[in-house]
Amino acid sequence: MEALMKNKLTKKTRTHKNLQDRLFDLSVYGIAIVMIVMIVYPLWFIIIASFSDPADVANGNVWFWPKEWNLAGYIELLKQEMIWRSYLNTIIYTLVGTLIALAVNIPAGYALSRKDLFGRKWISIFYIVPMFVGGGLVPTYLVIKNFGLLDTFWVMVLPFAVSCFNIIIARTFFKTSLPETLWEAAQIDGCGTIRFFFTMVLPLSKAVLAVIGLWTAVDIWNSWFNAMIYLTNENLQPLQLVLRRILIANESLLGFSSGSLASELRSLSEMMKYAAIVVSTLPIMCLYPFLQKYFNQGIMIGSIKE
């Protein structure tokens, strides 16, 4: 009898526990769904607002689906020669800048990963110090000015190509995933360091190349501050600076020559804002789910401890 009671009791506490766990699960999924909605809805709203009538957007008539299908924002935006030119500039900066960054950082990461690099500690310190101490805005500006890089293509891709952090990531990757015996075997076969690097190391390190390449590319695509202080030539401006004029400075790119009313112009430039966000962000957003694997991989590479 007593045993039976005890059994019942434990069963009761167990179902109590189960109930608690079930409530817990319910709240976990509830919170998760709320979060997804909070993140996705603003993004979705930008897209539908860019296709809707600006008056409806302003009055709060657009909620889940475009109202009064309207492409005027896109048409006006894409009429601007400035958008095309800056878009092209950004693409070129991103491609060239990423290539330079890879060409500079990956070899350094490899060299630092080799145990037989003489004076490795001092060289490592040389790479770590700039992560914590910098010259600051004005001294850097003065240096770039003295090199004659102001208002040139190169200022966007060369001076900040070295990323000490990416070098450390690459070094960690080479240390952990390239077996030392490989280098020893290559040495016996009479292969030198440089040749080994190009014929063996690079083909074996596609993962780290992808990760560092992607991070760098996203950084360059999104950067604007350097362009703002180092470039004055409009023909060299990247997309983000043109976005700044549209989105932040609230500058209407439409001339007054169109002869329309001021209110019409204002609502048109509101539409252009939404369209500009979509046009500039969509490429990365569409690519991202496919590349996510690599981004995550990078973080794992960075966090591997020996």
**Residues near 176 by Cβ (< 8 Å), separated by ≥ 6?**
304, 306
> Which residues within the stretch 5-44 sit at the binding site for other proteins (CB under 8 A)?
13-14, 17, 20-21, 24-25, 28-29, 31-32, 35-36, 38-40, 42-43
* 296 near other proteins (CB under 8 A): yes
CB of 117 to other proteins, least distance (A): 5
CB of 92 or CB of 141, closer to other proteins: 141
282 binds other proteins (CB under 8 A): no
Nearer to other proteins, 189 or 306 (CB): 306
Binders in 91-120 for other proteins, by CB under 8 A: 103-105, 107-108, 110-112, 114-120
- Indicate the residue among 44 and 84 with the shorter CB distance to other proteins: 44
Among 9, 71, 75, 142, binds other proteins (CB under 8 A): 142
The amino acid that residue 191 corresponds to is C
Contact with other proteins (CB under 8 A) among 150, 165, 210, 297: 165
How far is the C-alpha of 155 from the C-alpha of 176, rounded, in Å? 35
Q: Are 159 and 139 in contact (CB under 8 A)?
A: no
Q: Which of 213, 189, 217 is nearest to 90 (CA)?
A: 217
Phi, psi of 191 (to 5 degrees): -95, 135
Could you tell me how many helices (H) and strands (E) the chain has, helices first? 14, 0
Stretch touching other proteins by CB under 8 A, among 1-9, 78-86, 153-161, 252-260: 153-161
Of 72 and 117, the one with the shorter C-beta distance to other proteins is 117
Spatial separation of the C-alpha atoms in residues 289 and 286, rounded to whole Å:
7
Residues numbered 167-206 forming contacts with other proteins, rule: CB under 8 A:
167-169, 172, 175, 192-194, 197
> In the block, which residue shows the tokens 């950084």?
219
In angstroms, what is the minimal distance from the CB of 111 to other proteins? Answer: 4
Closest by CA to 57, choosing from 248, 251, 267, is 267
Nearest to 127 by CA among 110, 107, 144, 112: 112
Query: Which parts of 228-267 interact with other proteins (CB under 8 A)?
Result: 229, 240, 243-244, 246-248
Q: Are 109 and 174 in contact (CB under 8 A)?
A: yes
Residues 69-88 interacting with other proteins (rule: CB under 8 A)? none
CA distances (Å), origin 32, targets 35, 130, 211, 293: 5, 40, 28, 21
Nearer to other proteins by Cβ, of 42 and 259: the residue is 42
* Residue 66 binding other proteins, by CB under 8 A: no
Q: Distance between CA 190 and CA 180 in Å, rounded? A: 16
The nearest distance, CB 75 to other proteins, in angstroms, is 20
Give the binding-site size for other proteins (rule: CB under 8 A).
Answer: 113
